[in-house]
Amino acid sequence: MKQRTKSCFLVIIFFLIASILPFSSTQQTAQAFTASDADDAMNALINVYWDSNKQYFYTNSDQQIHTHAHGPENGLYTDFWWEAQMWETVMDAYERTSSSQYEQMIHDVYDGFVSYYPNFSNNFNDDLGWWALASTRAYQLTNDTTYKDTAIQLFQDMWNYWDSTYGGGIWWKRDGTDPQKNMATNAPALETAVNLYTITGESAYLVKAEQIYNWIESRLVGSNGYVYDHIEGTGSGTVVAWDFTYNFGTYAGASLAMYKVTQDPAYLSNAVNALDWVIDNMTLDGTLLHEGVNDGGGFKMVFTRNMNKLIQEAGQTQYVSFLQHNATQAWNHRRMSGGIIGPDWTAPAPNTYIQSLTAAAGASLLQMVAPDGYQGTVEGIGRFEAENARKNIISESSESGFTGRGYLAGWNNNGQEVVFHVNVVQSGTYELSFHYAGGAGNASRYLEVNGVSANSNLSFPNTGSWGNWSNVYASVHLDSGHNTVRLAYDSNAGSSNYINLDHMHIDQSVTNAQYEAEDGNLYNLTSENSHSGYTGTGYVAGWHTDGQWVDINVDAPSAGNYTVQFRYASGAGDASRYLYINGAGIVNNLVFSDTGSWNSYNTIHVSNVYLNEGSNTVSLIFNSSLGSNNWLNYDHLTIEAQ
């Protein structure tokens, strides 16, 4: 890939800034993903980007020169590795349709590229690798020996840069500058070698493929399916972790290639683990995250193409619904004028120019996966990892207890925000819960939904330490279709202090989900309102003696497990109470950690609490024989379906 250090740096920087492309605020009508949609997506890609005279794809949708100007004619046309991916997209369309138009276009793209790069001259072995791999595919589809010969030559050119540094591996660059050996070079080279072994029958290719795979396993693969980006530095080298989906995709493709020629199930297991890591860690409620523009716009294409190979070539049908979900998301959020797909599959495509590699990522997915014919919005109700959303806040993972890959930290300045794109089928009231830690004391943030303030000063009470996590809830109105949820630091609105934000969870609101303690049945207790920060009309106070308890009647919409959360203040130190629900003890000694003062509130939650459909009684009791102690002000409880 040209300018890898620069390009990857730009991708990383993307996650530290807010959206760099404006998004349309126009509500989009949901569409079905059907076979005709796949046709329309490919036609749109060709209409916007293909220059039939030059037989080459433009870099940008407006056919002007902007950023990433590394290709022919000062960047008017796509650069080396981008055009290889565009070529593969044409092959995706040909495999789906068997159309003579796309078969001819396979030859045309190659001819147009060679007219600019007759000798495939390039300083980057990964760029050569993408063309070598695509050439083996073109030969297998067309039987044109030109492509076989090209693949053989390019593979040999790359193999010349294998040496024993770091124990093996092919160098990324050929001139020795920015020395590193990476997954993007070695995994496609391995897959090319396996394909050439299949095509030619020459065992030397398989021997080289095994050498590459053994080296990759020893240096660039971690535990539980994690894939590193590259190794660099002196001596035995330092492994560098950049979480890009195409690294996981290329590794899965290489593992699949080895599985096909050896039938060793360990290779298939490795491929599955890598794909599953991305699904678990690099999605927003099931949709692949926005990895930026420039090179990052094509990362999802490489990942989904290799996932589809596992479906087609190894029977891993568990991924079909995932790809269909993502294809429908991409298509639903295309630009309605022109039909091209943007970089964020959860949000409307931008009104500005869209790069060809970005648009091809969505179009290629529609070519690969079988349409499900679903009519409507792909709903995003569930967990949205903050580190995967759009933000200009750094991510960390040093404190334990978070979900996903980490959390947002260092968040205390105007202009810092996180933006979640949420899609729902029905308009109505939904409950947002923000999982956070507030180890520096009480904090607050500005909450906005679809450009309108939902809570100008949402309170995030002190959690006591950065390793202690809690939840803050907000009920908001969401429109049918796409919505934007923005949580920002705005000192003019009252935002203050640091918080670490882990994730946002969204559910359709449970009727009367928040229950004020002062409105419950109080036994030998009274309520008051002398300490600020409470909700409702006050809180239950004066509570430190046996025989004192609060009963709250809770209505659950259906039987099942819920999370029950208590908001409280404990200004006299740690306290504890007995939790008793529907006639059964749940927690004998539920601890309410010290909040530092009676004006500081915190929340604790108890998960996997079974509630009956309809009425339930939640009792919080002082029982010294079970460990209850100290004073406690009880503000309210909430329930959340799991």
Which pLDDT band holds residue 299 (cuts at 50, 70, 90)? very high
Cβ atoms of residues 163 and 105 within 8 Å = no
Cβ atoms of residues 421 and 343 within 8 Å = no
- The length of the chain is 642
**Percent of the residues in the chain that have a pLDDT greater than 90, as a whole number:** 81
Which residue type is seen at 349?
Answer: A
Cβ atoms of residues 268 and 314 within 8 Å = yes
DSSP letter at 165 equals G
Burial of 296 (0-12, 13-18, 19+ CB in 10 A): buried
Residue located via tokens 């595919």? 137
Whole-number pLDDT of residue 375:
62
d(CA 533, CA 571): 13
Distance of alpha carbon 344 from the chain centroid: 10
Cβ atoms of residues 624 and 575 within 8 Å = no
Whole-number pLDDT of residue 607:
86
Burial of 217 (0-12, 13-18, 19+ CB in 10 A): middle
Distance of alpha carbon 40 from the chain centroid: 27
d(CA 467, CA 180): 36
Examine the pLDDT at 171 and tell me if it is beyond 80.
yes
d(CA 622, CA 540): 13
Whole-number pLDDT of residue 285:
82
DSSP letter at 318 equals G
Three-class secondary structure of residue 478 per DSSP: strand
Whole-number pLDDT of residue 438:
95
Q: Which of 383, 431, 417 is nearest to 403 (CA)?
A: 383
- pLDDT, tens digit (0-9, with 9 covering 90-100), for 452-470: 998 888 999 999 999 999 9
DSSP conformation letters of 342-364: -S-TTSPPBSS--BHHHHHHHHH
Whole-number pLDDT of residue 246:
97
Average pLDDT of the segment spanning 323-348: 95
d(CA 545, CA 622): 6
Three-class secondary structure of residue 591 per DSSP: strand
Examine the pLDDT at 188 and tell me if it is beyond 60.
yes
Three-class secondary structure of residue 229 per DSSP: coil
Average pLDDT of the segment spanning 18-36: 47
Mean pLDDT of the chain: 91
Examine the pLDDT at 8 and tell me if it is beyond 50.
no
Which residue type is seen at 12?
Answer: I
Whole-number pLDDT of residue 390:
86
Which pLDDT band holds residue 26 (cuts at 50, 70, 90)? very low
Examine the pLDDT at 307 and tell me if it is beyond 60.
yes
d(CA 36, CA 414): 46
Which pLDDT band holds residue 11 (cuts at 50, 70, 90)? very low
Pairing of strands 443-449, 407-409: unpaired
> Measured between alpha carbons, how far apart are the two ends of the chain, in Å?
44
Average pLDDT of the segment spanning 439-444: 95
Q: Give helix 183-200 / helix 125-142 axis angle, nearest 10°.
A: 30
Whole-number pLDDT of residue 476:
85
Residue located via tokens 């009647």? 553
d(CA 406, CA 398): 8
H/E element, 576:
strand 575-581
Examine the pLDDT at 32 and tell me if it is beyond 50.
no
DSSP conformation letters of 64-98: S--SS--SHHHHTB--HHHHHHHHHHHHHHHHHH-
Q: Which of 251, 241, 143, 240 is nearest to 187 (CA)?
A: 251
Whole-number pLDDT of residue 600:
85
Examine the pLDDT at 16 and tell me if it is beyond 70.
no
- pLDDT, tens digit (0-9, with 9 covering 90-100), for 355-403: 999 999 999 999 999 988 776 788 877 889 999 998 899 999 999 999 9
- pLDDT, tens digit (0-9, with 9 covering 90-100), for 264-293: 999 999 999 999 999 999 998 899 999 999
- pLDDT, tens digit (0-9, with 9 covering 90-100), for 504-553: 999 865 444 689 999 999 999 999 999 988 888 899 999 999 999 999 99
Which residue type is seen at 271?
Answer: A
Beta bridge partners of 606: 564
Token pair for 606: 């108890």
Examine the pLDDT at 21 and tell me if it is beyond 70.
no
Whole-number pLDDT of residue 27:
35
Average pLDDT of the segment spanning 423-432: 84
Which pLDDT band holds residue 10 (cuts at 50, 70, 90)? very low
